[in-house]
Homo-oligomer: A and B are copies of this chain.
Amino acid sequence: MKTAICDLLGIDLPLLAFSHCRDVVVEVSLAGGFGVLGGSMFTPEQLETELAWIDDHIQGRPYGVDIIVPERAAALQPGVSIDMDALLAAIPAEHRAYVDEILAAHGVSPATQTGTDGLAFAQSIPAPDELLDVAFSHPIKLIANALGVPPAVMLERGKAAGVPVAALVGAREHAIKQVAAGVDIIIAQGTEAGGHCGEVGTLVLVPEVVEAVAPIPVLAAGGIVTGRQMAASIALGAAGVWTGSVWLTTPEAETAPHTREKFLAATSRDTVRSKGRTGKPSRQLKSPWTEAWAQPGSPEPLPMPLQTLISEPALRHVDALAASGHAGAQDLATYWVGQGVGLMNEVKSTRDVVYEMASDYADAVERVARTLD
Contacts and interface: CB of A to CB of B under 8 A. Distances in A.
Interface stretch (A65-73, A348-356, A359-367): A359-367
A192 B201 contact: yes
Interface string A217-228: 000001110101
A322 interface: no
A198 interface: yes
Contact of A372 (B1, B199, B342): B1
Among A204, A228, A233, A372, the one with the most B-chain Cβ atoms within 10 Å of its Cβ is: A204
21 contacts: A2-B370, A3-B371, A14-B371, A172-B268, A172-B342, A190-B201, A192-B200, A192-B203, A200-B268, A200-B269, A201-B223, A204-B340, A207-B229, A208-B267, A211-B343, A229-B235, A231-B232, A232-B236, A237-B364, A362-B372, A368-B368
Contacts of A340: 204
B371 A234 contact: yes
B201 A228 contact: no
A136 to B, nearest CB: 31
A193 to B, nearest CB: 9
Contacts of A222: 201, 203
Query: Of residues A173, A200, A229, which shows the largest number of chain B Cβ atoms within 10 Å of its Cβ?
Result: A200
Contacts of A269: 171, 198-200
Nearest to A341: B204
A204 B232 contact: no
A45 interface: no
A343 to B, nearest CB: 6
Given A191-B191, A200-B339, A339-B200, A368 B205 contact: no
Given A231-B368, A232-B235, A365-B235, A203 B200 contact: no
